[in-house]
Structure 1
Amino acid sequence: MSGSVETLEFQAETRQLLRLVIHSIYSNKDIFLRELISNSSDALDKLRLESLTDSDLGVDTSDLHIALEVDRDARTLTVRDNGIGMSRDDLVELIGTIAKSGTAGLLEKLRATEDAAAAQNLIGQFGVGFYSAFMVADRVTLLTRRAGTEAGTRWESDGEGTYDVQAVDGLPVGTSVTLHLKAADQSADDDNSADYLSEWKIRQIVKQYSDFIRWPIRMATERTDADGTTTSTVDTLNSMKALWARPRSEVTEAEYHEFYRQITHDWVDPAATVHMRAEGTFEYEALLFVPAQAPLDLFARDTRSGVQLYVKRVFIMDDCEALMPDYLRFVKGVVDAHDLSLNISREILQQDRQIRGVRRRLVKKVLGALKEMQAGDAERYATVWSQFGRVLKEGLVEDGEQTEALLELVSVVSTHDPEKPTTLREYVGRMKDGQDTVYYLTGENRAMVENSPHMEAFAAKGYEVLILTDPVDEVWVERVPGFDGHRLQSIAKGQVDLDGGTDGEGAADAEKAEREQDFAALLQWLTTALTEQVKQVRLSSRLTTSAACIVGDAHDMTPTLEKMYRAMGQELPPVKRILELNPTHPLITALQSAHRANADDPALKEIAELVYGSALLAEGGELADPARFTRLLTDRLTRTL
C-alpha cells in the first residue's frame, strides 16, 4: 500500500548546485556510477556498524552487496544495495537541501558572479555525489527503507526544481537508485548515454573506479553459446582485493609484485615496497613502490607524477601531485584515505593541513626505505641511484625540510675511487686530520672534471674531491651550506691553501707574500691587459703542472650554471672571473722575465691572450674569438721553429 504523492521544491541553493553539477563541474560523466556505488558502499558500512551496536535492528548482514541492473528496453540503470537505507526525513535532508554542507554562502556568491569555476572549491557530501546522476539521466527514481523501520519511501525528480516523495510499503531494507537515461537526442554526439546500458562500459567504469570496494558489486549477464543457447549468470565485477588494507604480514612478495604490475604495467619487479598505515585523527593506508628502472618520460615536461588516490577504496584520481613532491615523481602506488576533504566533484584535492601532513609522512617513508636499501643492499641501491639519482637531487633544491635525509642518499664519484661512487658520509669518514671542508668540482662531463687544472694541487696532496657532472649539481651545491657540520667548497672558487685549509678570502703566509711582491708588476700589467676578460690576475696555490687556470670568487656563479640560465632565456650580467698563474711554471717565469726586460713589447699582449685562452679551454670554456686565438697560436709556434 502506498501513500499520497507529496511534491516539494529543492532548496534554492540546491537548484543552483544541480545546474552546476549537470553543466559545469564534472569533467567526466562516467563518475556518476562511481558516486552512486560509493554511496551504496557507505550505506553497507553503516549497516554493518549499526548491526554490531544495535541487537534489535533485525537485519541480515550475511550477504551485504551492491547490485547493478540494466533494462535496455526501458533505458534504465539501477544501483541497488541492502545497506542502512534512509527514512523520509533522511531523503529530504540529504537530497533536498544542502544546508548542512556549509556551501550555501559560497553558492550565494556564485549566483552573484556566475563563476562556474569557483564551484571547484565546494566540499562534497552524500547529496552532492547523488546529483551527478542527472548528468546522464532525465529522471531519477529512488526507493529506500531504513533498517529498523517498516515504512519505505519513494523519491523521484527530473532535477528541474521539484521532487516527489511518497510512502511505499513492502520495500526491502536498503536503497535502489534507478536512472532513466537521456535519449540520444538529449546527449552530445560523443556522449551517448546508451553506453551506460552496455555490459562492457559498466565493467570498465567499475574496474577503473570501484575495483577495490570491499563489498561485491554484482550484475546479471547473459552468455550465448555456440549452439545459440543463452544462459544467465550473476558476475561479481570488482576484485575487492585492496592489498594496502591488509596487514603486511599477510601479503606475499608475489602479491605485491603482481599489484605493482597491475597499476604500472611495468614487468620489472620494484626495487622497494613501502606498506604503511596511519592511525589517529586522520587515518589512511599507503602502498608505494620504488621502480627498479626509470620510465622513458622521467624528464619529459608533460610526465605524469604522483600516486593514485582512493577514499575508502573508491578511486578518486590518478597522479595525485599533492601527495608526492616532484622529485619523487617516479614513486608509484596507492594512498587510501578514510576521510578526506575533496571538492564537489572529488577531482581536485583541497590543499589543507591533512594533505600536507600525509605528504610529509609519505616522503619520510620513501626516503627511509631508500636509506635502508643503501645500508642493506648496496648493489641494488647503486642501481636505483643510477636510475633516479638526478631526480632525487632535485629535492635538495625544492625541499629544504628533507635536505639532511637527501644528503645521506647522495652517491657520487670522487677521486678516492673513480670506479666506485661514494656517499657524503663515507667522504667525511676519510677526511684528513684538520680538514673541515668537503671539496667538489662541477663540470659538463667526468673527463673534463678529472683533467681540470683545479685538481692538480688536491691530487698532489691527497685531498679527495667529489666529481659532480649532473646539471642539477650546479644548483644544489649552491643551496646546501654543508653536510654534518662540514661546509661544501668548490675547488674552482675562492683561494686555496691546502697547507692551511681553504679560505674564501684567501690565506697568505710569508713565502706567498714575498712571491706575490716579486710578481706584483706582472700581475698588475696582466690585469690591465686582460681587463675585458678578467677582473683580476693573481698567483695560484692550486696548480702544480698547468701554467694557469680560471677561478671564480667564493660566491660567483659557475660558467656552466650561467650557461644553463641563459639557455632558459634569463638575461644575466656578464661575470668576469679571475686568472690564476702558476709561479713555478716555465711559461709564467719566462713571461715575468720578458715583462721585466721590456714591458712595452707588443708580443707580451699576445702571449697574455694565449695564456688566458688556454686556461679557458682547459676548463671547457668557449673562446670569444676562436679565429684570433688560433692565429696568435699559429704565429707564435711558427716563430719557435
Structure 2
Amino acid sequence: MATGKINVSVDNIFPLIKKFLYSDHEIFLRELISNATDATLKLKHLTNIGETDVEYGNPVIDIKVDKENKKIHVIDQGIGMTKEEVEKYINEVAFSGAEEFLDKYKDSAKDSGIIGHFGLGFYSAFMVAHKVEIITKSYKDEPAAHWTCSGTTEFTLEDADKQDRGTEIILHINEDDEEFLEENRIEELLVKYNKFMPIPIRFGTKEETLPLPDDAPEDAKPETKTVDNIINNPDPAWTKQPTDLEDKDYKDFYRELYPMQFEEPLFHIHLNVDYPFNLTGILYFPKMSQDMNM
C-alpha cells in the first residue's frame, strides 16, 4: 500500500473546495456522472478505432444510495484507471492550478466556472462527503487500484480486488448533506442534470405494467414485472436525422420535454447546421392561448 500527499503546496485547498466551488452542493452528482460518461465514451472510441480488443458491450452508469451507511456510489463500466493514472489524474493534474485558484477565488464565493477551468470536477465530491474512495480497474490488463482521501491533502493508494473494468466512486456523506441520501432527492437531480446523457443511467429498479393481450377476459388484471429504472433518454430526437423521424416522434419528444404542456406545439424546426459551426437541435413553437402569460 502506498501513502503520500497530493501534489499541492497549500493545506487549505479542501475548505475552499467545500465552500467556493459552487453555491449549490447538488452539482457534485452532475460532475461525477459527467466523468463517468466521459470514461465510457473514451472506451467506446478506443474500441471503434481498434486500439483495444476489449468488448464495449452495453455499458450503464449505476447510482446507488446506501442510506443506512450514509454512502452514495457512482459506478461506471468505462475505461478505468491504472494505479499510475490515479496518481497522475487524481493527485497531480487536478491541483496543477491550485495556487492560481487560491489567488483568484479566495475572496469570491460564487463562480460556476471554477471546476471547468481548473479540472476540479471530481473534487466537487468533497462538497458533500467527508471521505471519498475510488475503486478502479483499467481496460488494460493491470491490477485494480483503491484510492482513499478524507478531505485533507493526504491519501492512500493500494491494490484492489475489483475484477470488472470501470470505476466506482464512493462518497461518505457529511452530516449536513444527508438530504442527498434520500432517493427522491437523487432522482430529482438525475432528471434535472442528466436527462439526456448519452450513456444509460440506472437508479435501482421499478415496476412496469405489462399490456393485456387482445383476447384477455374483461376481469383480467395486468401483470407487472421488475425492470431497470433508467433515468435518462440516451438517444433523444435531436441527435437523429430528420429523415428518420415522423411527426409523431417530434410530438412525443415534446411531451417528454414538457409533460405539463397540454397543447401540442404549433410547429417545429429541426436544426442541423454544419457551417460555420456544428449545431443540432429542435426548436418548438408552442400554441398561444388566451390565458398564457406572455
TM-score over 0.5 for the pair: yes
Alignment match of 1:9 (pick from 6, 9, 21): 6
State whether structure 2 residue 178 is matched by structure 1 residue 202. Answer: no
TM-score (norm 1): 0.39
Q: Which residue of 2 aligns with 1:110?
A: 104
Please tell me the residue identity of whatever aligns with 2:188: Q
- Say whether 1:61 aligns with 2:53: no
Structure 1: unaligned runs, 5 residues or longer: 224-230, 299-641
Structure 1 position 31, deviation (Å) = 2.0
Structure 2 residue aligned with 1:172: 164
Q: CA deviation at 1:233?
A: 5.7
SS in 2 for 1:116: coil
1:22 counterpart = 2:6:
no
* TM superposition shift of 1:138: 0.8
The yes-or-no answer on 1:142 pairing with 2:130 is no
Distance 1:248 1:14 in 2: 54
- The answer for the alignment partner of 2:84 in structure 1 is 89
Task: Report the 3-state secondary structure (helix = DSSP H, G, I; strand = E; otherwise coil) of the residue aligned with 1:172.
Answer: coil
Could you tell me which residue of structure 2 aligns to residue 286 of structure 1? 281
8 Å Cα contact 1:70-1:77 kept in structure 2: yes
Amino acid at match of 1:268: E
1:63-82 equivalences under 5 Å are 63-82=58-77
User: Sequence identity of aligned pairs in percent?
Assistant: 27
Contact 1:110-1:118 within 8 A present in 2 as well: no
Does residue 214 (structure 1) correspond to residue 198 (structure 2)? The answer is yes
Structure 2 partner of 1:274: 269
1:59 is aligned with what amino acid?
A: V
Q: State the alpha-carbon separation in 2 of the partners of residues 251 and 83 from structure 1.
A: 30
| 1:38 equivalent in alignment to 2:30 | no
Q: Does 1:160 align with 2:155?
A: no
Question: 1:133·1:179 contact (CA, 8 Å) conserved in 2?
Answer: yes
Counterpart of 2:2 in structure 1: which amino acid? V
**1:281 to partner: Cα distance:** 8.3
2:115/2:121 contact within 8 Å kept: no
For 1:499, the equivalent position in structure 2 comes to none
**Superposition map of 1:513-524 within 5 A:** none
Distance 1:121 1:133, change over 3 A: closer
Q: In the comparison of the two structures, how many residue pairs are matched?
A: 275
* Cα displacement string for residues 1-50 of structure 1 (whole angstroms, at most 9, x for unaligned residues): xxx1322234236953x433311232222221111111111111000110
The answer as to whether partners of 2:145 and 2:158 remain within 8 angstroms in 1 is yes
- Distance in 1 of aligned mates of 2:37 and 2:104: 32
Whole-angstrom CA distance in 1 between matches of 2:118 and 2:229 = 27
Tell me the CA shift for residue 269 of structure 1. 2.3
**Contact 1:94 1:126 (C-alpha < 8 Å) held by counterparts:** no
Aligned-partner Cα distance in 2 for 1:96–1:60: 29
1:260 aligns to what? 254
How far apart are residue 80 of structure 1 and its match? 0.5
Q: Which has the higher helix share?
A: 1
SS of alignment partner, residue 89 of structure 1: helix
Larger radius of gyration: 1
1:242: how far off? 1.4
Q: What amino acid sits opposite 1:216 in the alignment? A: P
Asked if structure 2 preserves the Cα contact closer than 8 Å seen for 1:10 and 1:162, the reply is no
Structure 2: which amino acid aligns with 1:148?
Answer: K
**Cα distance between partner residues in 1 of 2:133 and 2:12:** 18
Which deviations, in whole Å up to 9, do the C-alpha atoms of 1:194-246 show, x marking residues without a partner?
x33333222222111112122221233488xxxxxxx9764222232411111
Long gaps (5+) in structure 2: 208-224
CA change 1:279–1:46 in 2 (3 A) is: farther
CA distance 1:149–1:28, shift in 2 (3 Å): same
- Report the secondary structure of 1:164's partner residue: strand
User: In 2 relative to 1, CA 60–158 (structure 1 residues): closer, same or farther, beyond 3 Å?
Assistant: same
- CA 282–125 in structure 1, closer or farther in 2 if over 3 Å, else same: farther
Which residue pairs with 1:248 in the alignment? 242
AA paired with 1:215? I
Indicate how the Cα distance of structure 1 residues 279 and 83 shifts in structure 2: closer, same or farther if over 3 A, else same: farther
Deviation, 1:66, is 0.8
